[in-house]
Each structure stands twice: as structure tokens, then as C-alpha cells.
Structure 1
Amino acid sequence: MNRDHKHGHKHGHNQGQGQGHSHSHTHTHDDDFDWDAMADLLVLEGEAHGPYVQQAIAELQRLTAHGERTPRRILDIGSGPGVAACRLAAAFPVAEVTAVDGSGQLLARAGQRAARLGVGLRTRQAEFPSGLAELAELGAADIIWSGQVVHHVGDQQGALHALADLLAPGGVLAIVEGGLPARSLPRDLGFGRPDLFARLDVAMTHRFARMRAELPGSVAVVEDWPGLLRTAGLTEVHSRTFLVEHPAPLADGPRQLVRGTLERSRQSLGDFLDAEDLATLDRLLDPADPACIDRRADAYLLLAKTVHFGRRP
């Protein structure tokens, strides 16, 4: 999955959230960010965020249940290590599902995952959005899924037009954008100032705005995603928001994801946080500290993801 505008995917980030970005994404919006090095965390994110993806897939099944034909071709644009793509392949077993990403290493992980799970999955390396035209040779798609990719592109409306052009008549585009920031700890941690995560949200908002402004060809646009999909020529546009909830005490996978996103916040938000909040993050990440995220029984993971759907006439 290419979580940066140079690669060709962006998946799993929590835009505007204090814990990283996340694709949901653990995304941190660096122009030169090495998503290959983040593969393990992207897998953790994809697995922990599975509940919302499954609900969105159920909506896709509903939307395609009464069409002229069963979906035969599905693209996951910005697939990353293939967690969502494998879920799509399991849900639509007669379809040819292709994971598309700018990173060959992440696509290799996707292929390995599919083989392990016993689902059919093809992979295709392509930049986003510059490589989308190359995908036309695969044939028109009945479903396109793209999780938290479009906001990494300077011209978001142009990217949506390009995605819509890959759909077959009656095909459905589903993009994941927006939702609610993740929360994983109480408001008062027992040390430092309360409301750390509210300040992380503000810091991430500033960082996200800077990322958008610095993207090549950045075009300011009101991020009315249903409106943008309609402008791209799609109909039956609607949005649904799905909850992801992992209550305390956290299982190992979600806990590792929370640690990873806190580490990304510490690394990437230093310019936007004061010394006291940075010290609080240091304590949360220090394995020797009793307050470390690894030890806390009160850690949880709660977030919401919004998926916007539209059909090509």
C-alpha cells in the first residue's frame, strides 16, 4: 500500500488523530516516509481495524447483490501489505482481486499473506495516482476499494476522477476518508497534564495541514467527500461510519499497534508539542516505567472510520 503520495497507496491512517495517523492509519504524512519499514505496523493496524473493513465489505456485498452480474474484478488501490485485500478476496471468492501499491516489498507481504490464508490475490505495482491509467489493461473493475489514500494526493478531485474511470458501468467505488480520532488511554494518565490526546489531535491537524500544503500540485478543496464523488460522476453516493472497539485489557496485537502509533507521534510531532507532553510520551514508551503502555491495564483502542460509496452510472 502506498501511504505516501510518491508511492501509490495510503491505507490505514487516522487523519487528525493524536496517535500517529492512522491508516488509520499510523500515517504520519512524511513526503519521504519509508512505508516498507512500517510493514509490520501496517499489518497490526490492518488486523486491529478489521471490524470496520468487514462492515464496509458487507455494505459492498449489499450494493452489488442485485446488479446484472456478480463482481468479477476488484481493485484495492493502496493495498499495502494486503490485509484488506485478503478480506475482499475471502468475501468475493469468484472475483479476481488485485492488490495495487507502489511498494514492491509491501506487495510481496500481501502475496505471502494471501497464500497463508488460502485466498486468491493478484498483485500489481503502480504509483498513485500517476500509474492508475496503466490499470485499465486489467479490465474495468466492479469494485474499487481505497483506504486513506486520496488525501495524500495534491489534486484529490483529480484522483477521484481517475479512480472512477477504472470502474465498469454499475461498479462501486469505496474510499476510506475521515472518521474519528483513535483513543487508547484515560483522559488523566496519572502523571503529566490531562488531555494529552486532545493536544496530539491538534498537533496532528497542524502536521496534516503542512503535509497537504507541501504536496506537489496541491489543490485546496473542501473535503466534502460525497460531493467530491458526485463531481467525479458517481451516483447513489452515501457515507457510513463504522466503529472499531478493542476494550481493556488490550490483546497483544492492538496493544502493539497502540505502542507503535505512540512511537510515531513521539518521532513526528516533536515540532508541535511542548517539553512536558514529550516527556509524557517518553514515560508511556519506557519499558522500565510502571506507567508504560506495555503494562497499563487501562489501555484500550476505540476509533471510527468513515467509508464513502458511489456507483458509476
Structure 2
Amino acid sequence: MSSHAGHGHHDAPASATPVHAHVPAHGHAHGTGDDPATDIDWDVLGPLLEQEAELGAAQYEEAARWIAALPTAPDVRRVLDVGSGPGVVSCLLAEAFPEAEVVAVDATPALLRRAADRARRLGLGDRFRTLTAELPEDFAALGEADLIWAGNSLHHLGDQRAALAEFAALLRPGGTVALVEGGLPARRLPRDIGIGAPGLEARMGAASATRFEHMRSELPGAKREIEDWSALFGAVGLTPQGTRSFLLDLPAPLSRPAREHVIASIAREREVLGDLLNAEDSAVLERLLDPEDPEGLHHRPDVHLLSARTVHLGRRVP
């Protein structure tokens, strides 16, 4: 699976488009054909994933500090970043836990090469490695860990409860699973942008949710699960340790890198959502993405970036 949401990598329905996380074994992101969600050019998408994670770095750093400061925090010697993508969060975890070996786990070699290159640039090479793995088949290859970070990756596995039980089995006594699921999808435009019907992003979100449910239904062994993560932790023998959300709030006017990311991510969403959008919204998106249009994303003063990622912790009691 390869989660693609910026996690990170790293949003549930919003990450129905592979612009969010990166996980091993999700079937829907490694195929070929005419579906833009499955026929992926990683040389194009990889930099977008990196940029998204870099923009949200403060969220992940704050989350890591929260985990490290818990009274029950384990002595972290080995970290698994499951669905690591290009390794931005993996490297942040290596910096947050300086005594730990960090393993970036993904099914996409092109993304893992980016992760390894980033780790080398940051001087983390001696305690950073990558692992190509397809889940759920390769759970046994991951090895034990004190911290398992799963950034928008669990929902790429059909049987989420079974996968969470596999995570629990990999934890050393006192170890923690940090599950990044839910949160709030990104908002980048006002409700009324002056062209087309108001509420464009809300309709895009609804289309993305439809696509997400279709993706989930096609996963091998797909099972519907109430997304009460604390209850699921308990069901697999883990003790819930709390839930927190971390905000990314970049108001207008955006920096050039943030604006470029917004443009690239909306372009990707338009491509992936395709016929799920009505003709009027598709035409508005064409205008928004036109660099010559004065009402477009390249020129609008009201473009912003607001989102939240939610982290749920479960602990294996010694």
C-alpha cells in the first residue's frame, strides 16, 4: 500500500486522490491503464507528496513531541513509518527520536529512493533505512518496533481491524501505534470565489468521498468498520492513549511554494475526480488552473491552505 496524502504522505475521503499519503499494498495506486488514480507517474507525484509533507512539517513535529512527552512514552529504539512515501515524516521522526533506527516502509521503490536521498542529505544515513513491502502480505518482514507511525495508510488495507492487530503484534512491550486518520480536508478557497456556483470545494470533497468509498470497496478483503479508533485499539489489545488534532493554517497571501502546491494539488484532484464533477465545476477548475486567467489560482489574493490531521495513539501495555 502506498498512502498518498502528504503524510504524509499524509485525509481520509480527501486522500481518495493519491495526493496524500504513502502506504504499502493498496492495489489502487499501482495499476496501469486509463485511470489517473492508478496510472501514476511517480516522478511527477513524488515531488508533490514531498512538498505537501514539507508544508505540514510543523504538524508532524508537534505530534512527535506529544508522543515523546507522554508519561507512558517508551524508550524508542526502532520506528516503523508505514506508508512513508518520500520519507519527509520518516526523517522528522528520526530527528524527534535521535536514538532510534527509523525504517521507511512503502510499496513504491521510486518513493523510497527519495526517502533514502533525503535521509542522506540530512545526515541520518547511519540509522535510517528503507523497506519495500506490500501489506498485508509482508507484515512479518517489518520486524518489531517501539513506535509504529501509520500516516493515512491503514485505510488502504481492506481489513483495517486485522491490520491494526498486526501492528499491535509488532510492538515491543510499552510500544505505541500512532494512527493518522481523519482530521479535516484541506480548504484552499473561499466558499464563493465569484465564478461558478458557491461551494466548489465542498462539492469536490463530496466527489472525493464517493471515490474514497469506491476505492475502499475494491480493496482485497475489504470490510466495513466503524471508525472508532479507540474502540479498535481496545479490540486488538492496545490501550488508547489519547487523540489530538494538529492544525495547518497558512492564510492568504500564500508564499510561492505554498501557492504552487495548492495549484498542483487541485490539478491532481481535477484529474482524478473526472466525471464525478459536473460540467460547470469542471469548467471553473479549468479557469482556476489557467495561468493566464486573472481569476485563476496563479493570481487570486484569497488562496489559502487550512487543514487538520488527527493522530490516535494506542499502547501495548508491558
Question: Fold-level match, TM-score > 0.5?
Answer: yes
Structure 1 contact 78–147 (Cα < 8 Å) conserved: yes
Residue number in structure 2 paired with 1:36: 42
Describe the shift of the 1:128–1:255 C-alpha distance in structure 2 as closer, same or farther (beyond 3 A): farther
SS in 1 for 2:310: strand
Aligned to 1:59, the other structure's residue is in SS state: helix
Pairing 1:14–2:11 present: yes
Could you tell me which residue of structure 2 aligns to residue 178 of structure 1?
Answer: 182
Deviations 1:123-165 (A, max 9, x none): 11111222111122xxx21111010001011111111111111
Unmatched runs of 5 consecutive residues or more in structure 2: 32-37
Query: Given residue 255 of structure 2, which amino acid in structure 1 is its aligned partner?
Result: A
The answer to whether the 8 A contact 2:16-2:209 is kept is: no
Q: Does the 8 A contact of 1:44 with 1:256 survive in 2?
A: no
Structure 1 13/192 Cα, relative in aligned 2: closer, same or farther at 3 Å?
farther
* Equivalent residue number for residue 85 of structure 1: 90
C-alpha separation in 1, matches of 2:294 and 2:113: 39
CA distance in 2, matches of 1:19, 1:224: 20
2:77 alignment counterpart: 72
Deviation track 1:144-188 (CA, whole Å, cap 9, x = no partner) reads 101000101111111111111111000011010001111011111
- Asked whether the 8 Å contact 1:241–1:304 carries over to 2, the reply is yes
Distance 1:292 1:95 in 2: 45
Supply the AA of the counterpart residue of 1:167.
Answer: L
AA matched with 1:130? E
- 2:287 equivalent to 1:280: no
Residue 129 of structure 1 aligns to a residue whose secondary structure is: coil
| Equivalent AA in structure 1 for residue 48 of structure 2 | L
| Contact 2:291-2:298 within 8 A present in 1 as well | yes
| 2:114 match | 109
2:55 maps to which of 48, 51, 59: 48
Q: Distance in 2 between matches of 1:252 and 1:118?
A: 28
Shift of 1:237: 3.3
Q: Which residue of 2 aligns with 1:253?
A: 257
Q: Write the mapping of 1:76-225 to structure 2, written as runs, cut at 5 A.
A: 76-119=81-124, 120-136=127-143, 140-225=144-229
Question: 1:3 aligns to what?
Answer: 3
The answer to whether the 8 Å contact 2:180/2:309 transfers is: yes
Cα deviation for residue 13 of structure 1 reads 4.5
Matched, 1:23 2:28: no
Would the alpha carbon gap of residues 22 and 226 (structure 1) be closer, same or farther in structure 2, given more than 3 Å must change?
farther
Shift of 1:285: 0.6
Q: Which runs of no fewer than 5 residues in structure 1 stay unpaired?
A: none
SS at match of 2:103: strand
CA 1:66/1:310 → structure 2, altered by over 3 Å: closer, same or farther? closer
Q: Which amino acid aligns with 1:185?
A: L
Q: Distance in 2 between matches of 1:279 and 1:181?
A: 22
Q: CA deviation at 1:14?
A: 2.0
Shift of 1:259: 1.1
Q: Cα RMSD over matched residues?
A: 2.3
Q: Deviations over 1:81-131 (max 9, x none)?
A: 000000011111111111111111111111111111222421111112221
Are residues 273 and 179 of structure 1, via their aligned partners in 2, closer, same or farther at CA, if it must alter by over 3 Å? same
